[in-house]
Amino acid sequence: MDTDKVFDLCSSVCIRGFFSVFMNVRFEVNGIEKVVEAPPMKRLLDVLREELRLTGTKEGCGEGECGACSVIVDGEVINSCLVPVCQVQGCTVLTVEGLSRDGRLDPLQQAFLECGGAQCGICTPGMLIAARALLDENEQPTRDEIAQAIAGNLCRCTGYVKIIDAIEQAAEIKER
Ligand code: FES
Ligand code: FES
């Protein structure tokens, strides 16, 4: 066997070995500490949906373009389809399931209901997460600031106006 073939064989064995390795990833999800055993490069999106059964977070494009998979990690909105689970070791993750508290909807969820901000619903969890991150930083955003905050979240149904209305209405509710 020539040297190149030996090298190719070694590379593929290493790569297969790498993907079959599992690691324990410890992180907080919606206020609860979790330890997940998963391949380190498994997408956070898949770990949330498949391992933790948090199926509120959606997959749209799977390529970082639509925002359907948005979650908040350590205060920043990220696309969970692009982040390997090993990168959230020790982090705090908020998904759409963590927005309601004590059985009460987050004001954003209530406003989306009242304003018709959700139609098919695929974009809605990501929109809510992006909006929550905005309101956590800026309690009284302008409509332009709202539009900017959800610019990475695509909606094929609403035309965005009702979504912006809903976020604006939620911002007017003092008790968040
Ligand atoms: Fe992640 Fe579209 S599914 S950005
Ligand atoms: Fe259908 Fe936004 S409500 S994609």
Strand partners, 28: 33, 92
Tell me if 79 CB under 6 Å of ligand 1. yes
Q: What are phi and psi of 169, to 5 degrees?
A: -65, -40
Between CA 83 and CA 107 the distance in angstroms is 28
pLDDT of residue 149: 98
pLDDT mean by block of 10 residues, the chain; 176 residues = 39 46 97 98 98 98 98 98 98 98 95 97 98 97 98 97 98 71
For residue 104, give every residue at least 6 positions away whose Cβ sits within 8 Å of its Cβ, in sequence order, or none.
none
Between CA 131 and CA 111 the distance in angstroms is 11
Ligand nearest to the CA of 45: 1
Torsion sign (Cα): 84, 138, 116, 157? negative
pLDDT of residue 147: 98
70, 129 in Cβ contact below 8 A?
A: yes
Between CA 90 and CA 74 the distance in angstroms is 10
Residue located nearest, by CA, to atom 1 of ligand 2: 120
Torsion sign (Cα): 135, 136, 137, 140? positive
Cα(116) to ligand 1 centroid in Å equals: 23
Across the chain, mean pLDDT equals: 90
pLDDT of residue 165: 98
Tell me if 119 CB under 6 Å of ligand 2. yes
Best of 69, 124, 154 to mutate for ligand 1, by most ligand atoms within 8 A of CB? 69
Residue located nearest, by CA, to atom 4 of ligand 1: 64
Nearest to 32 by CA among 12, 17, 5, 54: 54
Q: What is the pLDDT of residues 106-148, one digit of tens each?
A: 999 999 999 999 999 999 999 999 999 999 999 999 999 999 9
44, 74 in Cβ contact below 8 A?
A: no
Quick one: tokens of 47? 């770990």
Give the β-pairing of 32-38 and 23-29.
Answer: antiparallel
pTM of the full predicted structure? 0.88
Residue located nearest, by CA, to atom 3 of ligand 2: 119
Strand partners, 25: 36
Cα(130) to ligand 1 centroid in Å equals: 13
